Amino acid sequence: MEYIEGKAGGTGCFFCASPELPHSAEDLILHRDRLLVVLMNRFPYANGHLLVAPARHVADIGELSSEEGNALAAMLTRCTAILRRQLQPDGFNLGLNLGEVAGAGIASHLHWHIVPRWHGDHNFLTVLAEVRTIPEHINRTFARLLPEFQAQ
Ligand SMILES: [Zn+2]
């Protein structure tokens, strides 16, 4: 029932609108199962910026089942391991914004940001250069990351 309601009422929700596919280059879906979805951010803060969300349309961590919570925690760990192998960042920002006031772009559907960081990446010109080449980066990075998510 929640699933049906989530779909019906989720026309404005980016996560619920993304297709029910295990992965999709077109939609930047790296992984989807019955509990969660991992997408690449189409408007990334940095190359390899991932979004991890429960499959279910819930707004708060308090609404997650323990099964969902455990799966999400394991996936966040797995994502950082994959990004470390493929992109060799120097660190990460893992972010969870609860509510619009906290800066959540899609406040109605809980999601974590995983942003790889490199020494010096805050440099203004570096950021600017990165932004200009990002469309190319996304497809190339997606192709690199997908096999990692498909390997169990
Ligand atoms: Zn949703």
Q: What is the CATH number for 83?
A: 3.30.428.10
Per-residue pLDDT of the chain (152 residues; tens, 9 = 90+): 334 434 434 457 989 998 999 999 999 999 999 999 999 998 888 889 999 999 999 999 999 999 999 999 999 999 999 999 999 999 999 999 888 888 787 789 999 999 999 887 765 555 555 555 555 688 899 999 999 999 97
**Entry pTM:** 0.83
Number of H helices, E strands in the chain: 5, 5
Expressed in angstroms and rounded, the spacing between residue 120 Cα and the centre of ligand 1 is 35
Cα–Cα distance for residue pair 130/64, rounded to 1 Å:
35
Expressed in angstroms and rounded, the spacing between residue 52 Cα and the centre of ligand 1 is 12
Cα–Cα distance for residue pair 123/96, rounded to 1 Å:
24
Q: Which amino acid is at 146?
A: L
Expressed in angstroms and rounded, the spacing between residue 135 Cα and the centre of ligand 1 is 25
Of 19, 33, 18, the C-alpha closest to 149 is: 33
CB distance 147 to 83 below 8 Å = no
Give the residue numbers marked as catalytic.
111
Q: What values do phi and psi take at 123, rounded to 5?
A: -60, 130
87: containing domain: 2-150
Expressed in angstroms and rounded, the spacing between residue 11 Cα and the centre of ligand 1 is 8
Into how many domains does the chain fold? 1
- Torsion angle in degrees (nearest 10) through CA of 66, 3, 17, 100: -50
Expressed in angstroms and rounded, the spacing between residue 13 Cα and the centre of ligand 1 is 5
